[in-house]
Amino acid sequence: MANTSLLSLEMNEKIAAAAERLQMSRREFLQFCAALATTLGLPQGADAAVAEAVAAKKRPSVIWLHFQECTGCTESMLRAEHPTLEKLILDVISLDYHETLFAAAGHQIEAAREAAMKANAGKYVLVIEGAIPTKDGGIYCKIGGKTAIELTKECAKDAAAVIAIGSCASWGGMPSTDPNPTGAVGANKIITDKPVVTIPGCPPNPYNFLSTVVHFLTFGTLPEIDALGRPKFAYSRLIHENCERRAHFDAGRFAMEFGDDGHRKGYCLYKLGCKGPETYANCPTVLFGDAGGGTWPVGCGHPCIGCTEQGVGFQKPIHLPAKLKNIEPPLQYPRIVEEKGTGATLGAAAVLAAVAGAAAGAGAMVARNLGLSHQAEEMEAAKKAGEKEQV
């Protein structure tokens, strides 16, 4: 198609067909593509390229592995609304292997995985959910007689792209917390010969995953990532920077305990242990569950626990104050409720008047004495001058 204007695609037949498959109007489909392009931080005109890719290109084959996890990442995907999961896996991607969502089981599902990998060698997207145990040769997680280590290496060999979804797959997550009895690690510790895009979160936002896949579908490459493998479009800003309670932080208004006056008024949760000032994620802007404003932990009144950040989530106690990044508060903040002074009583006013009167009287006496002293000095000087003249 090679269009640069999204509006020029509104009457395109392929766009109409794609919108019909996704059970959207053409306008809704184009708005969906524009939202994805905006989320990815793409330049003007890229939304048209996204629309063309979703409408015309072959759906990428996706192999989705499960290891040490709670399936929360998949549950998060199940609650996506734009598009819903069935539209995503039937019209945007081709989900060819997923243990939770497959109707088949046992040798049948393993045969489907091997067939999909063979048919799409060098083209499929590998998604890993869950940490990978490495202790004792990885015996603490086996699927179809193979360890998680073996499956990861086997599936990553011919993958065009590898995505680690959730904190467990990204850096070990909850299974890797001390004492880490299974030696759990993230996927990037096992796959070392190609880049691994990490999408941390417990669970991560499904639209961060969807946007990453659509970027690969549109441009044939994964989005730009930071030093930890996280897509910059989603993890380049601190939660604190876009938090709806940030103004209260700047003004020194904090909730001191759950249920207090400040907590009910929506004050900053920093002193309750909110890890937003040291956690990189787009939770305040993307939200969760498509249920409207405020649908994320801080918006619901609970401090951020830093689940996307290694060394913070599942490591630091929830009540421990965050280490501030990119911002330094004043040395002393005002209290939530400053005490106000009261008016002077009659007794206090009388005392003050007496003190002031005494001070004024003393001042007058000093001035009078100073004046008399000066007059006496002049008279003495005149007397001495007269005595000299007589001599």
240 labelled binding-site residue: yes
Burial of 169 (0-12, 13-18, 19+ CB in 10 A): buried
| Integer CA distances (angstroms), 247 to 49, 240, 243, in order | 38, 10, 9
CA distance 4 to 2: 7
73 assigned to a ligand binding site: yes
C-alpha separations of 9 from 23, 91, 216, 291, 315 in Å: 17, 19, 21, 30, 49
Which whole-number Å values give the CA distances from 124 to 320, 327, 385, in the listed order? Answer: 43, 42, 120
Q: Distance between CA atoms of 66 and 166, rounded to whole angstroms? A: 11
274 a known binding residue?
A: yes
Q: Which residues contact 131 (CB under 8 A, 6 or more apart)?
A: 67, 68, 69, 168, 169, 172, 173, 175, 176, 184, 185, 186
**End-to-end CA gap in the chain:** 127
Residue 300 labelled as part of a binding site:
no
307 assigned ligand-binding residue? yes
70 is in an annotated binding site: yes
Element (H, E) at 83: none
Q: Does the annotation place 243 within a ligand binding site?
A: yes
Task: Name 374's bridge partners.
Answer: none
Place of tokens 């990815």: 40
Phi, psi at residue 31, to the nearest 5°?
-65, -40
Which string of DSSP letters, residue by residue, matches 277-320? GG-B--HHHH-STT--TT-STGGGT-----TTSTTTTTTS-TTS
User: What is the Cα–Cα distance from 281 to 207, expressed in whole angstroms?
Assistant: 12
168 marked as binding residue: yes
* Cα Rg of the chain (Å, integer): 35
Residue 33 in marked binding region: no
C-alpha triplet 162, 92, 224: angle, nearest 5° = 40
3-state secondary structure 144-211: CCEEHHHHHHHHHCCCCEEEEECHHHHHCCHHHCCCCCCCEECHHHCCCCCCEEEECCCCCCHHHHHH
**Binding residue positions for [3Fe-4S] cluster:** 283, 304, 307
**Binding residue positions for [4Fe-4S] cluster:** 70, 73, 168, 202, 240, 243, 268, 274
**Binding residue positions:** 70, 73, 168, 202, 240, 243, 268, 274, 283, 304, 307
